[in-house]
């Protein structure tokens, strides 16, 4: 059954990040040698996404571990893009892979995904195939669920499963700062989806 008013052609899918991303990320030559600095950028992306009303309270960034330079940044764009998979992590992964010309980041070096919150079930599932070598996150699953988000089902030993695949996991770094972006979203009556 065709939906009323729906265009049944297949146009290209284009997911856009907000215009302010560039100003937030700063100088492309900048190095972020400390894990806390890298995660702080992801948390700042989440905070700005809420404050500028351009998406959900999640930010992510991928860094080259050889140079500690930013490769790609992403924010949650589920509602503005009408796309359930437009999470901050997937947006950053897609952009990094596109920029580097590979579907497997491992083929281009060692990369870290810094994300403002523990990955949901979908983003967790994407990590092994993305080619990242290290995951660093701020807010925990419990923090995200406390404001009403459904994080989906992950195995209880999810981090160990990633580590068995060669992905180091750094848990709850800067957790208090990361929770602030979530609280800001709740205080602004952000839509829970």
By annotation, the residues acting in catalysis are: 89
* Contact in structure between 69 and 28 (CB atoms under 8 Å): yes
Structure tokens, 37: 């600095």
Angle between helices 88-100 and 35-51 (to 10 degrees): 120
Kindly tell me the sign of the dihedral angle through the C-alpha atoms of 155, 160, 166, 171: positive
């Amino acid at each position: 059954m065709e939906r009323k008013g729906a265009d049944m052609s297949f146009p290209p899918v284009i997911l856009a990040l907000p215009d302010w991303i560039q100003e937030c990320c700063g100088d492309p030559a900048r190095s972020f040698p400390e894990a806390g600095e890298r995660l702080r950028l992801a948390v700042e992306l989440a905070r700005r996404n809420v404050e500028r009303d351009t998406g959900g309270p999640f930010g992510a960034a991928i860094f080259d571990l050889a140079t500690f330079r930013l490769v790609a940044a992403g924010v949650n764009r589920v509602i503005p893009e009408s796309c359930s998979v437009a999470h901050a992590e997937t947006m950053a992964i897609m952009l990094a892979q596109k920029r580097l010309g590979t579907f497997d980041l491992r083929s281009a070096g060692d990369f870290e995904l810094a994300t403002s919150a523990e990955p949901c079930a979908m983003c967790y599932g994407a990590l092994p195939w993305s080619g990242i070598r290290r995951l660093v996150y701020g807010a925990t699953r419990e923090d995200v669920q406390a404001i009403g988000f459904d994080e989906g089902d992950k195995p209880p030993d999810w981090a160990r499963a990633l580590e068995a695949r060669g992905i180091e996991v750094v848990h709850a770094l800067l957790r208090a700062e990361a929770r602030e972006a979530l609280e800001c979203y709740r205080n602004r009556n952000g839509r829970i989806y």
